[in-house]
Amino acid sequence: MLHDLGLVQERTVVNAVLVFVPPLIWIGVVLVFRVRAPFLTLLVVGAFYGVFLALGHQLLWDIAWGDSPPRLGGNLAGLDTTAQSLILRFFAVVSSLFTGVIVGAITGLLAWGLGKATRRTPA
């Protein structure tokens, strides 16, 4: 969301840190605390992440786009600008929720696998 404000540019080290470090922390936490169901736990965390991502993008929509908001093309280009905005915002929310769930599923799968690989068997 910091890129929405123009504070962080894509394809930079800072952006990469902001993208990858939080999910790595999620994995670390479930491994350190030996969470019984790391996949489900991180799937839920990812879903919440998606909700907050969607909220952030919606709150920053006008700041991010300024005087040139996105518009639909093709057969939908003639729609009223308010209808276009509602459609685009709806799909932005869906995209954010999907992104959060996918990030949660991937980190949950990694945490589950790492937990299985590092678990000690009794002697």
Query: Rounded to whole angstroms, what are the CA distances from 12 to 15, 17, 75?
Result: 5, 9, 37
Q: With contact defined as beta carbons under 8 Å apart, do 95 and 51 qualify?
A: no
What pLDDT score was predicted for residue 109?
A: 98
- Inform me whether the pLDDT recorded for 122 exceeds 80: no
What pLDDT score was predicted for residue 123?
A: 54
How far is 108 from 37, CA to CA, in rounded Å?
A: 9
What pLDDT score was predicted for residue 120?
A: 64
What pLDDT score was predicted for residue 121?
A: 56
Nearest alpha carbon to residue 112 among 37, 47, 44, 46: 37
Q: For residue 7, tell me if it sits in a domain.
A: no
φ, ψ (nearest 5 deg) of residue 101: -65, -40
Q: For residue 3, tell me if it sits in a domain.
A: no
Number of domains in the chain: 1
Q: Can you give the residue range of the structural domain that contains 109? A: 13-118
How far is 85 from 54, CA to CA, in rounded Å?
A: 15
What pLDDT score was predicted for residue 37?
A: 97
Q: For residue 24, tell me if it sits in a domain.
A: yes
Residue-wise pLDDT for 62-115, tens only, equals 998 989 999 999 999 999 999 999 999 999 999 999 999 999 999 999 999 999
- Inform me whether the pLDDT recorded for 1 exceeds 90: no
How far is 33 from 23, CA to CA, in rounded Å?
A: 16
Write down the mean pLDDT value for the chain. 93
